[in-house]
């Protein structure tokens, strides 16, 4: 499977126009060549674009080095677009992934066994075969201990 980290997201012209229009709604200097929005508005803007699971900690992570050095409370359009791309590429927060991991880790051991994964997969889908599930499990069991750690699980979820 190809890694999502290596995938370049290509937005359609329509997507870009939608992002520009949404950004412009929050831009206080609409006539300016230097369009910027306030960081305080970013969460609302992301939600306007359908990214409803964006938390404050998600924003902090997205913006680690993305803010304008001249005014660390502002965000320009290219940086905003980078944040959108990052959020689309990595839609789940660590908290959401931990909750999902906990569902699979039925015995609360800190690992997901193949049996755990098979039981959950059978509950949610009849479409996946034993062979397919085994292949997925083995691909992400990096240390080949027949268990998926939280880190293995995160890598697996990034693929899907």
Q: What is the pLDDT of residues 97-117, one digit of tens each?
A: 888 888 888 889 999 999 988
Residue 114: predicted pLDDT: 92
Of 49, 86, 84, 80, nearest to 67 by C-alpha is 80
**CA–CA dist 24, 51 (Å, integer):** 18
pLDDT computed for residue 8 by the predictor: 42
Residue 129 has pLDDT above 80, yes or no: yes
Instruction: Output 126 or 131, whichever has higher pLDDT.
Output: 131
Contact present, 35 and 27 (Cβ < 8 Å): yes
Q: Which residue has the higher pLDDT, 6 or 91?
A: 91
Per residue in 64-103, pLDDT (tens digit) is: 655 555 555 678 888 888 877 777 666 666 677 888 888 8
* pLDDT tier at 23, thresholds 50, 70, 90: confident
Note if the pTM is more than 0.75: no
């Amino acid at each position: 499977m190809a890694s999502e980290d290596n995938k370049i997201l290509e937005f359609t012209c329509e997507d870009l126009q939608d992002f520009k229009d949404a950004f412009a709604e929050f831009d206080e200097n609409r006539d300016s060549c230097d369009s910027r929005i306030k960081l305080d508005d970013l969460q609302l803007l992301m939600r306007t674009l359908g990214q409803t699971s964006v938390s404050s900690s998600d924003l902090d992570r997205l913006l680690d080095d993305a803010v304008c050095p001249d005014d660390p409370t502002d965000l320009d359009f290219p940086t905003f677009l980078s944040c959108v791309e990052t959020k689309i590429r990595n839609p789940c927060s660590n908290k959401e992934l931990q909750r999902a991991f906990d569902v699979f880790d039925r015995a609360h051991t800190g690992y997901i066994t193949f049996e755990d994964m098979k039981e959950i997969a059978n509950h949610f889908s009849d479409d996946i075969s034993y062979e397919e599930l085994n292949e997925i499990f083995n691909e992400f069991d990096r240390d080949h201990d027949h268990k998926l750690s939280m880190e293995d699980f995160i890598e697996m979820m990034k693929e899907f």
